[in-house]
Amino acid sequence: MVQNIGWVFLSVSTVAFLACALLVLTQRWHGRLSLDRDLEGAQKFHKVPVPRVGGLGVALGLGAGVLVGVMIHSRTHPTAFSLLISALPVFAAGIIEDLTKNVSARRRLVASFVSAGLAAYALDAELVRIDVPLADDLISLTPVGFLFTCFAVAGMTNAVNIIDGFNGLASGTVALMLGGLAGIALHLDDIVLMKLCLWGVAALIGFMLLNFPFGKIFMGDGGAYLAGFWVAECAILLLARHPGLSTWAVLLCVLYPVWETLFSIWRKSIHRKTGAGRPDRVHFHMLVYRRMVSLKLGRSAPQWRKHAMTSALIWSLPATCSVVANIAARCADATLISISSLAIFGWVYGFWYRKMTLHPSGIDATSSISNRQRTVS
């Protein structure tokens, strides 16, 4: 079994890498559509146009996993095939946006709901509990549980896209989260789900060989949506297949992008009184880049080195969460440990964020940044 897992892992990584390499080498022919030429946007940190269709490589890598699974008669390939088919609507919406820059955020959100609904129907990937009294009674009702599942999957899908700001950040984060989920699945003897997680890791590693640290290709919306959908569905399948598993342990494992998204909504809509969808430059990863990495390395440091350090620093968050979630999942008090860890994460995140936004004088830097953006616009 271990040998088969190794072969599939290698096949997925190799196909993803070769597909991305081909896209990089042929960009002179498709660059008119695939290159990200927006170098001045509020959330842009690259200096030259780069292909943003790395999601094609990730998708082809996962497809290779299904094909190899069929060839070796693996029990995983039917589930993987259904999951990949379910991902098509949101992946297609993302890829079309990458190529045309003409798919509205609302349509992409609808596509993520459609993909979540397909997975719920095809794989019974549906949340029926969140380990919260009274709320569980409500979610156990089929229509409510279905809608809540679609909302959760769409949320994670878009959350990964939000943190996709630096070379390797989103892909590395999702790979770490999938690795954590694979560890929990192994503990529960769920080999099928463990393989699904590892295939996702393999596809992302193949992509990262060209994305991190030099940024030869970007995930784009298609890749970010596919990665977010894959990790969301793996998390939901874990809970659906194992009623005794703490929901809070699984949430802890995938916490970072979820927290970043919810915090951004609160910061924009409530704290700053601006639109939640309006782009700005004060996301957590952007502050790490500007307030820590750029100051540490200096302006003369190569851009790729700044990207690499930013991603590596932030990877410590999902890595720690995945380790603690695996420890919690193996304990009788999994929910208590996980909720306590969530609280600690929130405090650390808030302390770190606040420290980066304050000037030595005590003035909130995000206010001046927002004011400058308002003036420019």
Question: Which pLDDT tens digits describe the chain residue by residue (377 residues)?
Answer: 666 888 899 999 999 999 999 999 999 999 888 997 665 544 445 567 899 999 999 999 999 999 998 888 788 889 999 999 999 999 999 999 999 999 999 999 999 999 999 999 999 999 989 999 999 999 999 899 999 999 999 999 999 999 998 999 999 999 999 999 999 999 999 999 999 999 999 999 999 999 999 999 999 999 999 999 999 999 999 999 999 999 999 999 999 999 999 998 888 776 666 666 666 678 899 999 999 999 899 888 999 999 999 999 999 999 999 999 999 999 999 999 999 999 999 999 999 999 998 755 444 555 544 444 433 33
- State the Cα–Cα distance between residues 244 and 288, nearest whole angstrom: 38
Among 175, 222, 189, smallest CA distance to 319 is for 175
- State the Cα–Cα distance between residues 64 and 46, nearest whole angstrom: 31
pTM: 0.92
pLDDT for 364: 54
Q: What are phi and psi of 288, to 5 degrees?
A: -60, -40
Binding residues: 161, 221
Among 173, 159, 195, smallest CA distance to 310 is for 173
**Token output for 245:** 């598993």
pLDDT for 279: 65
Binding residues for Mg(2+): 161, 221
pLDDT for 45: 53
pLDDT for 268: 77
